[in-house]
């Protein structure tokens, strides 16, 4: 399989990935280690919370998105890492048993000024559950190598 480089990312829809099934056990395990708020751990407290039922941590959802991005294409992309996340919107709760689908679009792709052998590709990721409800939207730049011949220009 060929490795994807900067030239492979053009503005527009890039791909749809998943579904990724999320179990109650993994929601509880992530919450216990990283986000032990009652709404992520305890059914009774969760029912009384604004989210009305047990929900996964937003940071868990972000981490799952990272894994879906890796499995979808970053694992076969000449990625050099990411400088951050411009925005994350948590729009609806992640629930035990959800089957997640990730839509990825390229918002912008430009050559790096400081490292001209690389480009910066800004991705928009949207996760939906099986009912089509958007759970989160994220925009994040990733640094990607250009093809060797392009870098030598």
Partner 1 sequence: MGFFEDIEIGAQREFGSFTFTAEDIKKFATQFDPQRFHLDEDEGRKSLFGGLAASGWHVAAVCMKLLVADGKRLAAEAAARGETVAVWGPSPGFRELRWIKPVLAGDTIRFSSRVETKRTSEKRPEWGILQIRNTGINQRGEVAYSFLATAFVPRLSAGS
What residue ranges bind partner 1 (CB under 8 A)? 30, 33-37, 39, 49-51, 55, 57-60, 62-64, 66-67, 70, 74-75, 79-91, 93, 136, 143
Angle at 100 between CA 95 and CA 106, to 5 degrees: 130
- Give Dmax (Cα) for the chain: 62
Considering the complex, state which of residue 2 and residue 114 has its C-beta at the smaller distance from partner 1. 114
Query: Shortest gap between Cβ of 151 and partner 1 (angstroms)?
Result: 15
- Give the whole-angstrom CA distance, residue 4 versus residue 77: 4
Considering the complex, state which of residue 12 and residue 145 has its C-beta at the smaller distance from partner 1. 145
Query: Shortest gap between Cβ of 58 and partner 1 (angstroms)?
Result: 6
Considering the complex, state which of residue 23 and residue 86 has its C-beta at the smaller distance from partner 1. 86
Query: Shortest gap between Cβ of 59 and partner 1 (angstroms)?
Result: 5
Query: Shortest gap between Cβ of 147 and partner 1 (angstroms)?
Result: 18
Considering the complex, state which of residue 8 and residue 117 has its C-beta at the smaller distance from partner 1. 117
- Give the whole-angstrom CA distance, residue 63 versus residue 65: 5
What is the token pair recorded at 29?
Answer: 């395990």
For residue 25, the SS3 value is: helix
């Amino acid at each position: 399989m060929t490795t994807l480089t900067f030239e492979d990312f053009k503005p527009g829809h890039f791909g749809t990935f998943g579904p990724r099934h999320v179990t109650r056990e993994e929601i509880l395990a992530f919450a216990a280690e990283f986000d032990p708020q009652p709404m992520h751990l305890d059914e009774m407290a969760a029912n009384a919370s604004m989210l009305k039922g047990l929900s996964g941590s937003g940071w868990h959802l972000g981490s799952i998105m990272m894994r879906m991005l890796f499995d979808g294409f970053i694992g076969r992309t000449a990625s050099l890492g990411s400088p951050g996340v411009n925005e994350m919107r948590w729009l609806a709760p992640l629930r035990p048993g959800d089957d997640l689908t990730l839509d990825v679009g390229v918002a912008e792709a430009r050559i790096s000024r400081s490292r001209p052998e690389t480009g910066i590709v800004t991705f928009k990721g949207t996760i939906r559950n099986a009912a089509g409800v958007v759970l989160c939207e994220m925009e994040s730049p990733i640094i990607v190598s250009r093809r060797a011949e392009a870098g030598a220009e």
